[in-house]
Structure 1
Amino acid sequence: MTNEAKRNLSDVETQVKILVEDLKNDSADTQRNATAELRLLAKYDMDNRIVIENCGAIGLLVNLLYSNDPETQENAVTALLNLSINNNKNKSAIVDAGAIEPLIHVLENGGSEAKANSAATIYSLSLLEENKIKIGSSGAVGPLVDLLGNGTPRGKKDAITALFNLSIHHENKARIVQYGAVRYLIELMDPAVGMVDKAVAVLTNLATIPEGRNAIGEEGGIPLLVEVVELGSAKGKENAAAALLRLSTNSGRFCNMVLQEGVVPPLVALSKSGTPRTREKAQALLSYLRNQRHENA
């Protein structure tokens, strides 16, 4: 590190120490200004994020997630989001400071921007494996599903990304289904919304459990998954084929529904032209469907 960079960091540290004292101040204006400055300092610079954590700001920012001042609350949640980016030490420090419950509070009660940033923070924290379990069992799933169904377009994007990450962990899948996420995910498979790939990725994870498969079949997901196999992106096609394979092999009724949707021609095309993993899934589904036809015949 150059001398100039060291000097700059030393200046930042001095500034952050003052801001940390301001966070403890009872004046709403002082807190609002301090959270706004920390939000900015944490936005672009990795070194700043380390300094802010070292100066003890994280616990104070977590407490301010309960602030009655909407601007302070939004600044605090956004500062925590920025602090968590590309920094596993900070991710752990944020969770250790008891942030999950206050983040859920913001998800349930914050303004639309604060809600979206709370979902984005939960996503960022859930990149650490051990946090997936903590977040899933602490009551975050319900408010995330609510944001998925009723949030702003940005809120929905942040909610779906967080839910995808949580759905990687097996224990969270049933929770996500129980809170009614499947219906919203199927609504988000409208190409006009621009979230087809993300929705299909979450549905593919949920299709690994019986409750997930039932919900996908009952909520009208099969025709849309077939459509993605035909018209989706490369990643969408691979996930849709995987989800349909799980639906078909576990239920004769769903298997018939998949066949009735005319999935065979697009699967044949995919089995020849997709990525190696996609071809493998398309071929597995084709051979299963052919066997079922023979047995039925």
Structure 2
Amino acid sequence: MALSNLSTYQDNLLLILRAQPIPSTVSLLKSCKKSSKTTERCTALIESLMCYEEGRNSLISEDGGVLAVVEVLESGSAQSREHAVGALLTMCQSDRAKYREPILREGVIPGLLELTVQGTVKSRTKAQTLLRLLRDTPYPRSELEPDTLENIVSNLISQIDCEEQSGKAKEMLAEMVQVSMEQSLRHLQQRALVCTPADLSVPSCVSKITSK
């Protein structure tokens, strides 16, 4: 896809936008396999174009445009998913009030939850940031209710109207919490196995005393 290659150069993006590539790119995205290289190039192009209001407006106005990106986020290759979440994050960061609802409407939460557990390092970071932007309030909560990812997602789940999407999101949240607990346990076990010089000094002193 020639436009994808051209979009890697910032100076070309405005020229590409003049050609109004979003409709044809979305159409191609809908028809090709989500794990294909074509999908990867399409989502890379869309992510680049989301830096411009014209590109964002074009995606929103295109029938099924945001949904096509969400579907890649759910079932694309690792690189495609990274581009997809990047595109949605750029949109939400540019104007949260304008793009939050259109993104939520397409059932993005389950895919974002999965990315926080199974995505690349960049995907996980972007997914967590987007989840924070998508919640009901963008501001940190009080100390009594910590601003944890689980709380943010629980807040989002409570706003999902579709029972199927809500159920899937809850399953993903449970899996995410389980993985987080397992990682914390492994970390504690590793720390328990590490013996520092300070730890060694006590038994060393004891052995010297007993030897006397």
For the criterion TM > 0.5, the same-fold answer is: yes
Q: Is the 8 A contact 1:115 1:155 kept in 2?
A: yes
Q: Give the AA of the match of 2:155.
A: A
Correspondence for 1:187: 180
Aligned to 1:110: 76
* Residue number in structure 2 paired with 1:38: 3
Aligned partner (choices 43, 67, 79) of residue 101 of structure 1: 67
Which residue in the other structure is 2:26 paired with?
A: 62
Q: Whole-Å Cα distance in 2 between the matches of residues 53 and 168 of structure 1?
A: 32
Larger proportion of helix: 1
* 1:183 Cα deviation from its structure 2 partner: 7.1
- Give yes or no for contact 2:136–2:155 (8 Å, CA) kept in 1: no
TM-score norm. by structure 1 comes to 0.45
One-letter amino acid of the structure 2 residue matched with residue 115 of structure 1: R
CA distance in 2, matches of 1:173, 1:51: 42
Q: Indicate the percent of aligned positions where both proteins have the same amino acid.
A: 18
Displacement of 1:82: 0.8
Aligned-residue offset at 1:52: 1.5
Gaps of 5+ in 1: 1-34, 192-297
Kindly indicate whether structure 1 or structure 2 has the higher relative contact order, using CA contacts under 8 Å at least 6 residues apart. 2
The aligned counterpart of 2:155 is 174
Q: What secondary structure is seen at the aligned counterpart in 2 of 1:43?
A: coil
Q: 1:148, 1:155 within 8 Å by CA — same for their partners in 2? A: yes
Partner Cα separation in structure 1 for residue 157 and residue 4 of structure 2: 31
Residue identity in the other structure for 1:103 = V
Q: State whether structure 2 residue 91 is matched by structure 1 residue 125.
A: yes
* Correspondence for 2:205: none
Partner of 1:164: 132
Partner of 1:83: 49
Amino acid at match of 1:131: Y
The 3 A distance-change label for structure 1 pair 60 and 174 is same
Offset at 1:176? 4.4
Change (3 A) 1:54 1:143: same
> Aligned equivalents of 2:45 and 2:129: distance in 1?
19
Which AA in structure 2 matches 1:120? G
Distance 1:156 1:176 in 2: 19
**What displacement does 1:169 show?**
4.6
Deviation track 1:112-145 (CA, whole Å, cap 9, x = no partner) reads 1111111111111222221111111220111111
The separation in 2 between residues aligned to 1:42 and 1:182, in whole angstroms, is: 39
Measured in 2, the distance between the counterparts of 1:149 and 1:63 equals 30
Aligned to 1:149: 117
Q: Is the 8 A contact 1:104 1:140 kept in 2?
A: yes
Residues 1:182 and 1:161: Cα distance change in structure 2 (over 3 Å): farther
1-side partners of 2:54 and 2:109: how far apart?
24
Alignment-derived partner of residue 148 in structure 2: none
Pair 55,154 (structure 1): closer, same or farther in 2 beyond 3 Å: same
Residue 81 of structure 1: CA displacement?
0.2
**Correspondence 1:10-25 to 2 at 5 A:** none
Cα root mean square deviation, aligned: 2.9
Unaligned ranges ≥5, structure 2: 139-152, 159-165, 185-212
Counterpart mapping for 1:269-288 below 5 A: none
Q: Secondary structure of the equivalent of 1:52?
A: helix
